[in-house]
Amino acid sequence: MSTTETSTFNARTPIAREDLKDGENLCEYCTAKCCRYYAFPIDTPKKWKDFDYMRWYLLHGKASFFVEDGTWFIMVYADCKHLQADNGCGTYETRPQICREYTTKDCEYDNDSGYDQLFECPEQIEEYAEAILPPKKRSPWVRERAAGLSLPVVSG
C-alpha cells in the first residue's frame, strides 16, 4: 500500500522528476498511482495446490501476482475510498501511517519497468506452474480413462 505526499493534487502533464522546480511536489503531476492498489508479500508458491489458489484469486479479476527480488506479492487493484476526483487525499490530516511514511523518493510515479515476473491472468499462472512443476498426479480413475479402459455398461 502506498500513499501521497500532499493533499493538493492537480494532475498536470507528467513531468520528469529531474525537471521538478523548487517548491513543486511530484504528486501534483501524478494520477495518485500509489492510492489505487495495495500489495503484500505471500509465501512462495511451491505446489500445484498453491498455484491453484492463485489461479482462483485471478479468476476474480482486479488482482495480479508479481515477483520482486525473489519475493512473491499479491496486488489488489482498488482505489482508496478517500481518493478524490482530483486525485487528492480526502483525509490528508488523518491519513493512515503507511501513507505518511510513503514518499516520492522511490515511488512508482515513473516506474514503468515492470517486475521481475508478473502474472495477470489465470492462464499465466497455469503455464508457469506447468513449466516448473512435475506433472499433476491424476486419480486412478482419470488414469484409467486416459488409457482407454472403460467401465462395463450394465443394462437392466
Q: Could you tell me which stretch among 46-54, 66-74, 77-85, 119-127 binds ligand SF4 (CB under 6 A)?
A: 77-85
| C-alpha–C-alpha distance, residues 139 and 76, integer Å | 34
Q: Helices 122-132 and 48-59 sit at what angle, rounded to 10 degrees?
A: 170
Q: How far is the CB of 85 from ligand SF4 (least distance, A)?
A: 12
Site string for ligand SF4, 106-145 (x = CB under 6 A): -xxx------------------------------------
Query: Is 82 in contact with 91 (CB distance < 8 Å)?
Result: yes
3-state secondary structure of 24: coil
Q: Does 27 sit near ligand SF4 (CB under 6 A)?
A: yes
Q: Is 39 in the site for ligand SF4 (CB under 6 A)?
A: no
Residue 83, interface with ligand SF4 (CB under 6 A)? Answer: yes
Site for ligand SF4 contains 32 (CB under 6 A): yes
Q: Which residues of 13-37 are buried (b: 16+ CB within 10 A; e: fewer)?
A: eebeeeeeeeeeebbbbbebbbbeb
Q: Which of 91, 120, 126, 128 binds ligand SF4 (CB under 6 A)?
A: 91
User: SS3 breakdown of the chain: % helix, strand, coil, rounded to 5?
Assistant: 35, 15, 50
Task: Based on the shown chain and the rule CB under 6 A, indicate whether residue 75 belongs to the binding site for ligand SF4.
Answer: no
Site of interaction with ligand SF4 (CB under 6 A): 2-5, 26-27, 30, 32-35, 80, 82-83, 89, 91, 95-96, 99, 104, 107-109
